[in-house]
Chains A and B, each alone.
Chain A
Amino acid sequence: MGIVKNISRRNFIKGIGLASGGLILACNTDSLGHMPTEALIKFNPNLFVQLNSDGSLVLIAARSEMGNGVRTSLTSVIADEMEADWNRVTVKQGTGDSKYGNQNTDGSQSVRTFFKSMRKMGATTKAILITAASQKWKVPASECNAENHFIIHKSGKKIGFGGLVEIAKTIEVPKDIQLKSPKDFKYIGKKLPSIDVDDYSNGSAIFGLDQRVPNMKFAAIQRCPVTFGKVISFDKTAAMKVYGVLDVIEIPRIERPFGPLGGVVVIATNTWAAFKGKEALKIEWDKGVNTSYNSEDYMKQLTENVHKKGKELKNKGDIDAAFQNAHKILETTIQLPHLVHTPMEVPNAVAWVQNDTCEVWAPSQAPQRARAEVADFLKIPIENVTMNVTFLGGGFGRKSKPDYVVEAAMVSKAINGPVQVVWSREDDIQHSYFHAVSAQKMKASLDKNGKVTGWQHRVALPSISSTFQPGVEYAGGGETAAAVKAPFEIENFNVEVGKANAHVRIGWLRSVINIPLGFSINVFTDQLAYEAGMDPLDFRMKLIGSDRIEETNSEHKMNTARLKHVLKQAAKNANWGKKLPERHAQGIAVHYSFLSYVASVVEVSVKDNNVKVHKIHTVIDCGTAINKDTITAQMEGAAVFGMTLTFYGKITAKDGAIEQSNFHNYNMLRMPAAPKTHVEIIDNYELPTGVGEPGVPVIAPAIVNAIFKVTGKRYNSLPLSDYNLV
């Protein structure tokens, strides 16, 4: 708590609950912990802002930083509304705590969920500072303005924000807050470099893996190669002989959606000894029912399931009649494999259980979920768990699942001291929550004029719901939305889902279902365009059809005009249809996901099975752009992520065990293959929408469409390395 010099602290909690996230706008708790120097007076108008009497400003980032730039973007929104000087800002990471509202950093939703509330946090603070200055100067507040960390009176006299802290603490939080006009934005819509860029570049940024606690031990866990298998017995003799190994224990599986798989834990004085000890373990497993899981057989089964009638999700018009009256019918089967996230930083967590409390340090996309799971395991009140969020060395959805955090708590409790659980890269690839394998059947009819009269889309993939509710056999809801809501004007339209049981843990991976659905829809559309004898761009524009807005329950609507606009812009930027060198071609794709509109045009060349992606032009409409540099970076990154899955991404199981183990057989795109990516961000002040994920789904289909133009061959399954195309 800060020094409060003779100031009677008033109760500021007038509890203005904000609509979005239900955050309390006002409170007088010093939530920010120990701040720079004791002599400072601190003003905490709300949970996200602390202004100190020396003018330094501490802003809280409550969402996780994993390369998404959120520590910079959301805090810059507060600073903008507050008229603060960005150079006076430091960002502090909030712990996992529901007082911050939703902290699940997934679904590309940080900015869209918190834009408004962060604006209000900033605007309220500014209003209080203006009132404070007007009281100090005994002038009407209307004569005062905030500008670059100062309040300025119309007479020209000014005072720095810090000088107003004492008075500000006595002022009630105003009810009516005026937000800035977008044209006055100072940071929003500009390119702000990451507030952490220096720490990233000099090695001082502390990721989960870098967390150190006095007397901390290191632990590695051998899990059953087959999902949900169990330890029958183990022999630790050899492991105990490894220099540095302290102990070997067993932890059980916890049967919860994000519960640890269980296994045999090697505890050591350093990571290397723990890894080496793990390799020396002899374990007898009861591998359980999932030993029957073989990827090849499974794909056959999925494919069969989309070649028969499935569960109907949408049926408009008369699909059978459309197919009967067709001039031409086209049919395609799409097969896509499991993928895994492989964030550069493997899953890891430090936990320290002491009596009935626990402190955790972890790179987590879901700190509240992690905190709750730890509390549940330890059977202690959630307030007794302190969940510190470190930098995340990538997340991509893997770190939304806190199994690895609970593991750390389990081991800490067992050894009665602080411990860091570290997954090896092999563990990460083999025991993840996998992106779903899928089969899809697309069928469409064309009339004589090349118009699509009927569209049938069947999808089968093991549902993410199976992670929450074992036994779920059909994907549904959000998992099929992009198919059900394909933005096309087609009279007869039918979407069905086929049966698919899960044999591994299924989980979200960057762009999730939009990878398979964006692929199938864009590849098939291209095929139809050629069959209709039309240019793929014109054909898509026709298929999307009239300008219209899709009504939804949320304030976000899908607007086909915006979708067509990104498509047109991408084509324009890439000079679509331009003359290209021999064996070069362009491919195009467009997809709406995470409420954003994205189109990409790629230019590839194909020579002796060597596919080179020369250039990618991506256009995104994500509404109000908060930080254009971050958005550009996310599109550049999405191009690489998309190319990795196009060329290499494939996880397979044999007798239930994952066959890939490290980057030699789960390949990543490297610099020589990386494309030049050009990004355009559509300028508008619509509601901000997703950025982290929507750039991915268009990449694979655009590449496959371009390859077709060169070779005349359609690749309806990925990765392309299966065809020796790299």
Chain B
Amino acid sequence: MVALQINGKKHAVEADLDMPLLWAIRDFIGFTGTKYGCGKGLCGACMVLMDGIAVNSCQLPISVAEGKEIITIEGENKNLQLLQKSWADLNVPQCGFCQPGQLITATALLDSNDNPSDDDIETAMSRNICRCGTYQRIKNAINQTVELKKG
């Protein structure tokens, strides 16, 4: 039994200790916004915030996540909510499937950097694949959010 702290609530999960957090979130707790894309830490679809850091939840055993503060796409975070607004403004998503992961990575970037350069954005976001090819809009939406925050 592992106790996980997800989006501000405690959840007890009865599973193998090596089961990745991704499956606890999706199949046990029921937050399906966090996606499976590759299961190998290659695509970023499964990104969540763990104590404020963006991590690939498909690579993180639940035993390691225990006691940490996990935020998923359904969770609350000031930058996440601002980014979601820019995402809607610029109509970023195509199929939408990669977008929760993209938004979480972008949130961690803005949480740690108020004024990222294009290079900073590209480096941070290179962990996430978008097969539909929405990169240009993602970058614009992050930049727009940064501008909005500056006021």
Contact = CB atoms under 8 A, between A and B. Distances in A.
Verify that A and B bind, or say they do not: yes
Nearest to B75: A203
B94 A243 contact: no
Contacts of B103: 201
A209 B95 contact: no
A351 B94 CA distance: 27
Contact of A636 (B26, B34, B136): B136
Interface in A275-295: 275-276
A697 to B, nearest CB: 15
Given A664-B42, A674-B133, A344 B100 contact: no
B133 A641 contact: yes
Interface residues of B, number: 57
Given A342-B131, A346-B36, A672-B122, A201 B84 contact: yes
Given A194-B91, A425-B40, A270 B15 contact: yes
A243 B137 CA distance: 42
Given A198-B88, A270-B27, A674 B136 contact: yes
Interface centre among B38, B39, B100 (most CB of A within 10 A): B38
B73 A662 contact: no
Given A193-B88, A201-B87, A203-B34, A640 B135 contact: yes
B83 to A, nearest CB: 8
A114 B27 CA distance: 38
Contacts of A670: 125-126, 128-129, 135
B131 A203 contact: no
A666 to B, nearest CB: 10
Contacts, number: 193
B95 A244 contact: no
Contact of B100 (A67, A203, A676): A203
Nearest to A216: B27
A629 B91 CA distance: 8
Interface residues of A, number: 69
Interface centre among A194, A272, A396, A662 (most CB of B within 10 A): A272
A197 interface: yes
Contact of B132 (A67, A244, A663): A67
Interface in A49-72: 65-69
A394 B95 contact: yes
Contact of B94 (A218, A269, A637): A637
B91 A633 contact: yes
A271 interface: yes
Contact of A674 (B15, B97, B135): B135
B30 interface: yes
A18 B20 CA distance: 53
Contacts of B125: 670-671
A270 B93 CA distance: 28
Interface in B59-115: 72-74, 84, 87-88, 91-100, 103
B130 interface: yes
B99 A200 contact: yes
Contacts of B37: 344-346, 425
Contacts of B137: 633, 636
A639 interface: yes
Contacts of A396: 131
Contacts of A147: none
Contacts of A210: 26, 32
A528 interface: no
A344 B130 contact: yes
A103 B97 CA distance: 22
Nearest to A218: B27
B116 interface: no
Contacts of A198: 84, 88
A344 B95 contact: yes
B129 to A, nearest CB: 5
B147 interface: no
Contacts of B19: 270, 272-273
A672 B30 CA distance: 33
B129 A271 contact: no
Nearest to A270: B27
Interface string A661-689: 01110001111101111000000000000
Contacts of B99: 200-201
B65 to A, nearest CB: 14
Nearest to B33: A203
A344 B129 contact: yes
B138 interface: yes
B143 interface: no
B15 A244 contact: yes
Nearest to B16: A243
B6 interface: no
A207 interface: yes
Contacts of B132: 67, 344, 394, 637, 640
Contact of B42 (A275, A663, A677): A663
Given A67-B95, A204-B33, A391-B96, A663 B129 contact: yes
Nearest to A210: B32
B23 A662 contact: no
Nearest to A677: B136
A445 interface: no
B31 A272 contact: no
B99 to A, nearest CB: 5
Interface string B34-51: 111111101101000000
A198 B136 CA distance: 19
A359 interface: no
| Shortest Cβ-Cβ A-B pairs, 5 listed | A203-B33, A640-B133, A393-B97, A200-B96, A67-B94
Interface of B: 15-16, 19-20, 22-23, 26-28, 30-40, 42-43, 45, 72-74, 84, 87-88, 91-100, 103, 121-123, 125-126, 128-139
6 contacts: A191-B91, A200-B96, A203-B74, A206-B32, A345-B95, A669-B135
Given A191-B91, A629-B91, A662-B42, 13 more contacts: A67-B132, A198-B88, A199-B96, A201-B87, A342-B131, A344-B95, A344-B130, A345-B95, A393-B35, A425-B37, A633-B137, A636-B133, A671-B139
Interface of A: 65-69, 191, 193-194, 196-207, 209-210, 212, 218, 242-244, 269-273, 275-276, 342-346, 391-396, 422, 424-425, 629, 633-634, 636-641, 662-664, 668-672, 674-677
